[in-house]
């Protein structure tokens, strides 16, 4: 097919919304390469170069030439929304099939069958969905004129954002006709990743690679160990920074905590995470339209989010790799002469990074447990059923199943809602790949630590060398470094803020799957037998009160009076109604006096009587050794009873030191209510912060 320069330029200007727009170096050549069918192409260009223009203009030209639709594999919903809007500006009809728009699937499928869609966007996980493969993909496979793999580094085991379902593309690509147009794009691919992609996306993959320097970005790193110091620094600097930006955190909890702190300081910010749900698009637009100063975001707001005039990207903690950091910080300053990219690092960074590395792959023991249980169940097991049989968290079980099911040949397969063993055995290659990736990620984290210690002015060159680019032409930062000192008064206010933050303890409404056999309990917990909504003072080990709770439990063997005073203050602010008139606590055989002593002192400070009426009947493993909710429920089943002392019919404050699965509090509340107590208000010193 012939390439039409004039038409391509017209589409560029329509998409850019500017009559004077011209192609950047390499853009027109890439579009021509695709349209003329010159072979498979990998485009490696920095964030903001305009990779999406390449595939949208190519799609429009191919469709106008009578060719079939484009299938685009894209990793994030935020990215899909941006892409659909960009495509529509050029007159391309774009649609998506994803987990968030099930009510639109039938309409999209009907339009596909009538050839009324130019480009269909899907996530890699959609390729594993049997309904999609049979109802949608099979119907258009023969007509697809272009396959686009966006964020192609995700294909690679070496890629910084490894998405297991991208491995399905490797098998799909092998079955494609050699002359099918294929375009892969990424902003972050070092030589290792590019070599891996060449193997997967070949044969004869041509590479278009641009420079990595971002002269508009002034990069800086600051070591501020405590959360309170970093919160204080953000509050000071955000008041002075011009424009709008993104503040990245490593965890969902930190995103909400940082957002709450900055809101308390008068800033118009919002948290954006994988849990934001229906508000994601609204928040993306709020930042695009400068209606918020910043979004406090996890990587859920990442690849492909396009706001060219972002004036700053700040990291609250250190990402795990240089390539991940370059991807994220590169959102800033695309259409500005200067912007800040600031990396803060703290004492929790290493623990978080280590957790991500260790949890990327299941262990041999975890895989063996899952396969052993499936072998005992020829008709298969669902994930909830596995949770009741295997002492692994839901996340670990789901990750194990996903990775095993993507092997070729796969040792497990899904039938309906249940997973069953196949005749295949797990290849040793699986473990070799897991070890290789784990080793690489540890090396990448060490490289990131080296980046964090660089003096001002050396950061961009370091990033470019780490990405195997040529840093010879790197220019010095345009902007002066931001101040590194932190106001001691604001640090104290940040500590006070962290100590004010209590956390909800939501009551459980249902007994676990399989019930509590020792107590004969199944199904829904009657409302008059449930705990009331409760409160936890802090996150275990966190800044604020968390460190003092940990010290009290494992060093002092006694919780400090400051924690008593903090809980009194929290309870007064909480003000549960009807108010508790007495106090009891959850017992422990391992630490028999720790919680009762604290509960007795708390009761005295509240002016209430303390009655230890609950007993532990036998010694079970610690709840923290139970990896999921079902296992934790079984561990409690039959282990608690009342002492036989009289039970007051009035509302009661139920005290524990730690809350994780909430089953201990749920069971204790049931025993109290069953034996005549009034409302049960649970209160714990800390939440574990673990994801169960």
Residues whose CB falls within 8 Å of the CB of residue 617, separated by 6 or more in sequence, listed in order: 638, 639, 640, 641
- What's the structural domain count of the chain? 4
CB atoms within 10 A of CB 435: 11
Are both 530 and 663 inside the same structural domain? Answer: yes
Give me the mean pLDDT over the 411-423 stretch. 93
**Most confident region among 132-136, 178-182, 523-527, 686-690 by mean pLDDT:** 523-527
- Does the structure show a pLDDT above 60 at 692? no
Are both 472 and 398 inside the same structural domain? Answer: no
Q: In the prediction, which pLDDT does 478 show?
A: 92
507 found inside a domain: yes
Asked which of 155, 175, 209 is the last residue of a domain, the reply is: 209
Give me the mean pLDDT over the 33-43 stretch. 93
Asked which of 209, 241, 273 is the last residue of a domain, the reply is: 209
- Does the structure show a pLDDT above 50 at 330? yes
- Does the structure show a pLDDT above 60 at 570? yes
382 found inside a domain: yes
Are both 122 and 174 inside the same structural domain? Answer: yes
Tens digit of each residue's pLDDT (9 = 90 or more) over 210-234? 888 889 999 999 999 999 999 999 9
> What is the C-alpha to C-alpha distance for residues 143 and 139, in angstroms, rounded to an integer?
8
Q: In the prediction, which pLDDT does 674 show?
A: 95
Are both 400 and 528 inside the same structural domain? Answer: no
- Does the structure show a pLDDT above 90 at 127? no
Tens digit of each residue's pLDDT (9 = 90 or more) over 61-70? 999 999 999 9
Query: If you search the block for the tokens 């004077």, which residue do you land on?
Result: 20
692 found inside a domain: no
Q: In the prediction, which pLDDT does 689 show?
A: 60
Tens digit of each residue's pLDDT (9 = 90 or more) over 425-444? 999 999 998 898 889 889 98
State the CATH number of the domain containing residue 543: 3.40.50.2020
Are both 33 and 102 inside the same structural domain? Answer: yes
424 found inside a domain: yes
> What is the C-alpha to C-alpha distance for residues 396 and 403, in angstroms, rounded to an integer?
11
Q: In the prediction, which pLDDT does 157 show?
A: 65
495 found inside a domain: no
Work out the percent of the chain whose per-residue pLDDT is above 70.
97
3-state SS class at 546: helix
Task: Compute φ and ψ for 368, nearest 5 degrees.
Answer: -60, -40
Q: What is the DSSP string of 152-181?
A: GGGGSTTSTT--GGGHHHHHHHHHS-TTSE
Are both 567 and 478 inside the same structural domain? Answer: no
Are both 374 and 276 inside the same structural domain? Answer: no
Mean pLDDT of the chain, nearest integer: 90
- pLDDT band per the 50, 70, 90 thresholds, residue 628: confident
Higher per-residue pLDDT: 230 or 617 = 230
Task: Compute φ and ψ for 29, nearest 5 degrees.
Answer: -60, -40
46 found inside a domain: yes
CB 59 within 8 Å of CB 265: no
3-state SS class at 439: helix
> What is the C-alpha to C-alpha distance for residues 390 and 530, in angstroms, rounded to an integer?
27
633 found inside a domain: yes
Kindly state the tokens that stand for 285: 């637009």
Higher per-residue pLDDT: 237 or 74 = 237
Tens digit of each residue's pLDDT (9 = 90 or more) over 255-301? 999 999 999 999 999 999 988 888 988 999 999 999 999 999 998 88
Q: What is the DSSP string of 205-231?
A: -EEEE-----TTEEEEEEE--SHHHHH
Report in angstroms the alpha-carbon separations of 299 from 355, 439, 535, 689.
16, 23, 29, 19
> What is the C-alpha to C-alpha distance for residues 241 and 233, in angstroms, rounded to an integer?
12
CB 35 within 8 Å of CB 61: yes
Are both 428 and 468 inside the same structural domain? Answer: no
State the CATH number of the domain containing residue 279: 3.40.50.300
- pLDDT band per the 50, 70, 90 thresholds, residue 159: low
Kindly state the tokens that stand for 250: 């490593």
Asked which of 145, 179, 209 is the last residue of a domain, the reply is: 209
- Does the structure show a pLDDT above 70 at 162? no
568 found inside a domain: yes
CB 283 within 8 Å of CB 270: yes
Are both 106 and 171 inside the same structural domain? Answer: yes
Are both 473 and 422 inside the same structural domain? Answer: no
Residue range of the domain that includes 398: 356-433
- pLDDT band per the 50, 70, 90 thresholds, residue 690: very low
Q: In the prediction, which pLDDT does 479 show?
A: 95
Are both 573 and 661 inside the same structural domain? Answer: yes
Are both 587 and 639 inside the same structural domain? Answer: yes
- pLDDT band per the 50, 70, 90 thresholds, residue 166: confident
In the chain, the N- to C-terminal Cα span, in Å, equals 54
């Amino acid at each position: 097919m012939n390439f039409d320069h004039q038409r391509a330029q017209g589409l560029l200007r329509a998409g850019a919304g500017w009559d004077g727009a011209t192609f950047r170096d390499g853009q027109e050549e890439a579009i021509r390469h695709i349209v003329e069918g010159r072979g498979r192409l990998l485009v490696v260009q920095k964030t903001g170069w305009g990779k999406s223009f390449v595939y949208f203009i190519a799609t429009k030209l191919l469709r106008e030439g009578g060719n079939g639709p484009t299938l685009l594999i894209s990793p994030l919903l935020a990215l899909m929304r941006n892409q659909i809007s960009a495509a529509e500006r050029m007159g391309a009809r774009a649609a998506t099939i994803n987990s968030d728009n099930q009510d639109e699937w039938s309409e999209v499928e009907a339009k596909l069958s009538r050839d009324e869609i130019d480009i269909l966007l899907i996530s890699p996980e959609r390729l594993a969905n049997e309904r999609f493969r049979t109802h949608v993909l099979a119907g258009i496979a023969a007509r697809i004129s272009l396959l686009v793999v966006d964020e192609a580094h995700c294909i690679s085991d070496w890629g910084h954002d490894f998405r297991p379902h991208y491995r399905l593309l490797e098998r799909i690509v092998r079955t494609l006709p050699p002359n099918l147009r294929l375009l892969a794009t990424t902003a972050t691919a070092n030589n290792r990743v590019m070599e891996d992609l060449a193997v997967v996306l070949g044969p004869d993959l041509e590479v278009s690679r641009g420079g990595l320097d971002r002269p508009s970005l002034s990069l800086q790193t600051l070591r501020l160990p405590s959360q309170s110091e970093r919160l204080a620094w953000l509050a000071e600097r955000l008041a002075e920074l011009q424009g709008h930006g993104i503040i990245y955190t490593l965890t969902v909890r930190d995103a909400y905590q940082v957002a709450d702190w900055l809101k308390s300081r008068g800033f118009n910010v919002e948290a954006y995470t994988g849990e934001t749900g229906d508000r994601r698009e609204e928040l993306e637009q709020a930042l695009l339209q400068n209606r918020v100063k910043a979004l406090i975001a996890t990587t859920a707001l990442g690849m492909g989010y396009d706001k060219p005039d972002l004036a700053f990207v700040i990291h609250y903690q250190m990402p795990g790799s240089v390539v991940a950091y370059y991807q994220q910080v590169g959102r800033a300053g695309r259409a500005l002469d200067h912007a800040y990219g600031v990396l803060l690092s703290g004492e929790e960074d290493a623990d978080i990074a280590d957790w991500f590395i260790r949890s990327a792959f299941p262990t041999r023991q975890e895989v063996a447990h899952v396969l052993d249980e499936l072998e005992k169940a020829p008709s298969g097991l669902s994930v909830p059923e596995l949770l009741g049989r295997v002492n692994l968290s839901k996340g670990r079980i789901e990750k194990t199943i996903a990775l095993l099911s993507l092997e070729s040949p796969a040792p497990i397969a899904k039938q309906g809602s249940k997973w069953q063993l196949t005749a295949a055995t797990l290849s040793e290659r699986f473990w070799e790949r897991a070890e290789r990736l784990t080793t690489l990620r540890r090396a990448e984290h060490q490289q990131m630590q080296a980046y964090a210690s660089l003096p001002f002015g050396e950061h961009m060159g370091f990033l470019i060398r780490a990405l195997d680019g040529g840093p010879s032409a790197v220019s010095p930062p345009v902007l002066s470094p931001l101040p590194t000192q932190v106001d001691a008064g604001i640090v104290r206010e940040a500590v006070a803020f962290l100590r004010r933050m209590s956390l909800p303890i939501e009551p459980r409404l249902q007994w676990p799957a399989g019930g509590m056999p020792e107590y004969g309990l199944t199904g829904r917990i009657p409302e008059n037998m449930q705990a009331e909504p409760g409160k936890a003072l802090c996150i275990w080990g966190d800044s604020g009160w968390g460190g003092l709770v940990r010290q009290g439990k494992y060093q002092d063997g006694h919780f400090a009076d400051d924690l008593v005073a903090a809980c009194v203050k929290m309870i007064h602010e909480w003000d549960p109604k009807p108010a508790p008139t007495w106090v009891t606590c959850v017992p422990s055989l391992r630490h028999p006096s720790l919680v009762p002593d604290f509960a007795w002192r708390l009761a005295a400070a509240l002016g209430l009587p303390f009655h230890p009426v609950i007993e532990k009947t036998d010694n079970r493993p610690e709840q923290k050794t139970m990896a999921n909710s079902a296992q934790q429920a079984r561990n409690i089943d039959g282990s608690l009873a009342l002492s036989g002392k009289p039970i007051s019919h009035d509302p009661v404050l139920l005290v524990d030191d730690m809350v994780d699965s909430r089953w201990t509090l749920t069971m204790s509340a049931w025993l109290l209510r069953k034996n005549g107590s009034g409302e049960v208000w649970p209160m714990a010193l800390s939440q574990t912060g673990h994801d169960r």
